[in-house]
Every structure is written in C-alpha cells, then in structure tokens.
Amino acid sequence: MNIRVSACISIFVFCLSCSTAIEDDLLLNYKRLPNRGIIPLSYDVRLLPWMETRNWLAEGECLIDIFVLEATRNVTLHSAFDVSNMNVKVLNNGLEIPILRLNYDEASDQLSILLEEELFSNNVYQLAFTYDFIIPEDADNNSTGFYVANGVFWREQEEDGTIFYTIATQFEDIGARKAFPCFDEPQLKANFRFTIGHREEYTPLFNTPETLSTPIENEPNWLWTTFEYTQTMSTYLVAFTISIVEKETRPSVVPFSVYAPASLLSEATLALEAGAHVLQSLGQFWLNFPYPFPKMDLIAVPRHPAGAMENWGLIQFTDELFYHGPDQPVSHEKLVIEITAHELAHQWFGNLVTLEWWSQFWLNEAFTTFYSFYGAESYDNILGKFLQRLHTIGTIQGYESDVLSTSLPITADTFDEALVFPNTNIIYRKGAALHNMMLGFLGQAYYLGMRSYVRTYAYRNARNQDFLETMQEAIDAMGTSLPATFEEIMNGFLFQPGVPVVSVVRDQSTVTVRQKRFLLDGPDDGTRYMLPFKYKTSSSEESSLEWLLEDEAQLEVDFSSEDDWLLINPDHESYMIVQYDPNEYQRIFAQLESNHFVFNAVQRATIFYDLSFVIEGGLLEPDVALPILETSYLEQELDEIAWFGILRLHRVLMQIEIPDYEEVFLSKAQVALDRAIELSNNNPPHPNFYDVVIELLETLLESKNNFQTFLESPAWTNAIGRPKDSIFQRRMSQIL
C-alpha cells in the first residue's frame, strides 16, 4: 500500500528454498484436525490476566458447546497449554462423561480427549477447561525466522511519566489456541463470548460491545467485564485488548470509535474519519451488504506483530500505521488511509466470507486489497490517487514477484497441511491486479458476481471453486459474452505462475500480437494465458474487448496515417507486459513530446513500466528507450504516477553501460524539479507535489554528478528555505 503490504500485514511466507526439515516442523503446526464430525457451536471464555502483579500470569476458563455429527469416543482440538496443569471435562447436560485419557501432540498443538463412553450423533455436548499460562512480552518467533502468531502478549507504555501496560492479541493464523482451547481452523466457525478481568482504571475491548461489569470478589479495584456474543466467525478473528485509553467516536453505519492514550487521541483522527467513511461506502455502495457487527473499534498496539490486523469489530494497528500527526508528510497520510481501508475491506473478505484453508489465502487478501483501493478512493479521490496506484504501482509490485522461474501460483486447491504460500506481493498485488482485470472484461457482471459471492457465503467459508462458480452465474445472468468459461480463463492466472509479455508488430493496418511467459532467469517455458485486452490509437477511442487465446492473433486496425501511435492495454487493466517494436516507441515518444496529456497519467506510467521490463528481460535493446532523452517530455512531466514508471525505467538503464545516459537524464530530471518548485512558489502546491519532488530528489541523489551545483541553484535554495514548507523541509533534511 505507496504502501508495502508485505511489511504491514501479517502473513506467513513459506519459501521453496527452506530445508525439508524446517518445512516439516512448520507444517506440523497446520496439521488438520482428524475429527471432521465435530462442529463447535459457541465458546464462553473467561480470562483473568493478572498483569505485572503476578508476573503476567493469566487464568482461564473455557466452555465450548459442540455438535456431534458422527458418533465418536475421541474429541481432538487445539491447545497450547500444559496438559498437566489443565482441568478437562466433557459434559452432557451437566453430567460428566468419564475421560479415559488425554493425548497431547506438542508439535501440532492437538489435544485428544479419549472417552470411556461414546458421544452420540446429532447431540450437543460441552467441553470445559480450566488452565493458566504466562503472557509473553516479546514477539513469538522461532529459530527459523518464520513469524508465528503470538496469541496474547503485553507491551509497556508511558503517558505523562506514568507507566502502564497494554495486553493485546494476534491470532491469525494459528494463535487463538494460545489463549483458549479451541478448534483453531478457519472453517470451524462459532459464536464467542468473552468475560475479561482487569483493573478498574483499564479499559477492556473485545470484538463486540460490553454488556456487564461487576467487581471481582476479594480483589479490590478489579472488575469482570462481559461482552456480547459475536456473530459466527473464525477463531483467528477473535481479539481483545486491555489498556488505559480514551475514546472518540464518529457516526457511521454503526458506532465507529478509535481508542488511544489521551496524548495521542488527536493523532487518531485521520483513521477515525477515513475509517467511518470507508466502512459505510464499502458496505452500502460497493458490496450492497451493510457491515453486520454492532460496532467498530480501532486501536493502536505498540510493536503489533502483524502491523495491522482485521479482527472483526476490533482492528489493531501498530503505532506507525495508525497515528498521523501534523508534522508527518502526505505520503504517511496516504499510508494511514490505505491501511485503514484495507483492514475495513477485510470485514467482508476474510471475516464475513472466510477462506476454507490457508492455501487459498488470496480469497482473503487479494479481494481485500482490490476493494481497499476503492474504499480509500471514496474517502479522498484527490490526495491519494488510489485507483491510479492500483493500476500502476500495485500491479507492478505483482509483476516484480512473478517474473522468475521459481515464482509460485497465487493459490492452490490443497486442503490438507501441505501448503506452500507464495510471497506477499503475489497474493496481495497480483491478486488485486487480477480483480482489476476481471472488472475490465466483465463490466457490470463483475459487481453482480462479487455481491452474490458475499451474500451467498456470508458467515460461511469459500473455496476457489465457489468463487469461480458464483462469478459464472453472474456472467450468465447478465448475458456477458466470453470466449470460454470464467473458470477456464482464470485458471491460467490462478494455478499457473508468471506474467505474460505480449509483443506487438505492425504491418500497415495489420497488427500481430504474440504472447509468452515473461521470465528474467530463463527461456519461455510454454506457459500461456487467455488474455483480454483493449487498444487505442491516436485517431480512435479505446477499442472494444479483444482476446489473445493462443500464442498469436491478428487485429485489423484503422490507422489514419503511418504516424498514428498504438497502445495495447493502455490503462493497465489486464495482467500483462506489452512489448512494442522500436518504430512504435518512436511514435509514442513523439506524442509525449508534442502533448503528453493525450495520454492520462496511468497510460504514461504504463508505457515506461512495460518498457523497463522488456529491456530488463533482454527482449529489446536499451537503445530503444534513449530517444525519449532527445525530447522535452521529461522536463514537462510533473505527475507522480507517471514519474514512478519513468524512474523504474531509469533504474533499469542505470544497470547498463550507456555513454552519457546518466548525465542527460539527471539534467532533465533537474529541470522538472526546478519547474515543480517554481510552480509551488506561485501557487499553493498540490499535496502530491511533495511526492513528485521527493521522488526526483532521491533519484538525483543516486548520482553525485553535478548534484552540488543543483543544491546551490536559486530555485532549490528558495524552496528549501521557505518557512511554510516545514514538513517538506524536514523530509529533505532526512534525505540529505
């Protein structure tokens, strides 16, 4: 998100380069429960964390109602607690059923309760546990370097010289078992009620509103706070916090609140206002399914291990992604808006409709990432250029993780513990780009299908096949014409790795397009895709939808003259890299010089992004890009979105020995920077002005050539010295 989701969102990355031993140890944590015939219905959990008064001891009670589908004498669930220090009972209408023995597999956290009597099918029973554990402070990482869900943890904070503590949780994806015994798999949804013990000066929060607060017997100044039952949900979304905080609320579809220490509450205003708007926009406009929980709370937790976590009704953030102060730059404002929108989009994708198993993580994260851009754009369609970023920076981050022969598919149809996740940019960024492509070739059928998907699988779990079939039903209902079924089209992108590159060759009015898989580290491996695309020329509007279904296809294009330019996939809707021949680039560069506004910012960025990849991959000589230096275009370009594409091309060219390239490019970048500063002297600068200047400056700093001369120029001296640019000034001082 210009967010790096992989740095901000908790996800578990399993690399192919890991040793077999490490993979085996990790996969044991994901071993599926054996008893498919037992369904949890509800949990009633009572936790009393004694905090520092008893060295962070927590005492717990957990009562689980289960429904038995098939008669059994074995109940297996997850628990991370010492069995020798745990009391376990199985009850039938209050009567205890004798337990033969307990078997505990520490590697998989699976506790098996073997009974002397059979549990009969179609009956409800109760599992009752009492236990205790020590709440850790530090992030729970193992020696392999892989992140493991923390469960419950504590942090020390300070407010006006007074020390206080925060207790919080991070249960995705297998951390709930560290707080209470449970069936800790995403498809085993249930209702949850928590009662939390705490000192009276502390505020406890849970997924739902509180219903009752009573004194703890024989413990002065300690209270029990009980919360409402949740809706049906997965264990990994359960959350609570205990801290000393104050509250501010905004109206939305439900009470929408932020919690923070008094001194920081004002810095939570951006997340509060953006979040309240996004929650309503996503539910009422984009998904036509209003947010179903009775409240939404946001809170920051220092050094939160996930960066941000979408717990239903209680989203937790690390400080850096939540608080936005008056002295922080616009780029941070955009970061907070986008992260907030991302976690709120999860309330539908992940929370309401949940993946069935972790091998299909894209059903949570890709869907969320795509809709988070729309949510953020609905709040501010000027500042962030969020949709432009979706089409450009977001998609490119997917490409950059998808161009090696070792790249993995975005998902799998594996439902056992043998799971290997691709990296985060594949899931988040490629996934969002695929949704953008679906919207491009489906139009209104996409919205119909997504709304139907949410409505059909609300409070349930979904698989890849469920999504594909629901979308096909919407396509049929709308009468949308496709060259194959939706499943056949999407399978190539979902279950095959890689990004296609499409070469474009003109011969008068005939345009030949050819595809192959783009690889930086090897030859074409024969992978092919069903590719939707549109095109436009200098004398025509955007074309209707075209398809490249095999290796090659031909288009008949009505060019008004030999000088007409052609853009394939101009707005980056389809997941593809486009490679033009050198003559086409000459025509495109000529248009950029004469009037670059004929292309919108996304189109300009796409031209340079695609060119950077085909040069990097050795498909074109770098000389093809050099004529742009002979134009005045770079000196005129002031849009940050376009410059992101230009700068990627620049960084590729910098890896190649090209005489005089660096000096010429930097001189033109300096002119653009001078112009940006001069414009800001005469007009209040657009907020994104600073992003453009900083990007240019950081590029210039990559080279020491002539930079001291630039720093001494009047334009730069005047800009950096203006008191009104205090934020800009601080950012420059950090760079310099």
Is 630 part of any known ligand binding site? no
H-only helix segments in 46-87: none
What ranges in 457-578 are assigned the alpha helix state H? Answer: 464-478, 486-494
Specify whether the CB–CB gap between 343 and 309 falls below 8 A: yes
Burial of 176 (0-12, 13-18, 19+ CB in 10 A): buried
Residue pair 272/279 in contact by the 8 Å Cβ criterion: no
CA 28 to chain centre: 26
Tokens standing for residue 718: 């005047």
Question: Does residue 400 have a known ligand-binding role?
Answer: no
Tell me which amino acid residue 80 is: A
Total H helices, total E strands in the chain: 21, 30
Structural tokens at position 661: 């390239």
Measured in whole angstroms, the distance separating CA 458 from the mean position of its chain's CA atoms is 21
Instruction: Name the active-site residue from 343, 584, 637, 695.
Output: 343
Scanning 596-704, the segments in alpha helix (DSSP H) are 601-616, 633-636, 640-653, 661-682, 689-701
**The two three-digit tokens of residue 321, written as one number:** 């992604």
Contact present, 662 and 698 (Cβ < 8 Å): no
Burial of 155 from C-beta contacts in 10 A (0-12 / 13-18 / 19+): middle
Cis omega (within 30 of 0) for bond into 173 = yes
Collapsing DSSP states into helix, strand and coil, what is residue 169? Answer: strand
Cα gap 707→697, rounded to integer Å: 10
Compute CA distances 369 → 57, 286, 432, 580, 604, whole Å: 38, 14, 6, 30, 24
Name the maximum alpha-carbon separation found in the chain: 91
Distance CA 487, CA 360 (A): 16
What phi and psi values does residue 312 have, to the nearest 5 degrees?
A: -65, 115
Tokens representing 84? 């020798």
Q: For residue 348, what are its two tokens?
A: 């539908």
246 catalytically annotated: no
Count the alpha carbons within 13 Å of 734 in the hemisphere toward its beta carbon.
9
- Please return the burial class of 178, using the count of CB atoms within 10 Å of its CB with bins 0-12, 13-18 and 19+: buried
Q: Which residues contact 94 (CB under 8 A, 6 or more apart)?
A: none
Helix 269-281 crosses helix 362-379 at what angle (to 10 degrees)?
110
Which residues face 73 on adjacent strands?
Answer: none
Task: Tell me which residue of 688, 585, 596, 604 sits closest to 646, measured CA to CA.
Answer: 604
Cα of 395 vs its chain's centroid, Å: 13
525 touches 517 (CB < 8 A): yes
Tell whether 324 is in a known binding site.
Answer: no
State the amino acid at position 386 in one-letter form: F
User: Which residues are tagged catalytic?
Assistant: 343
- Return binding residues: 342, 346, 365
Cite the annotated binding site for Zn(2+) by residue number. 342, 346, 365
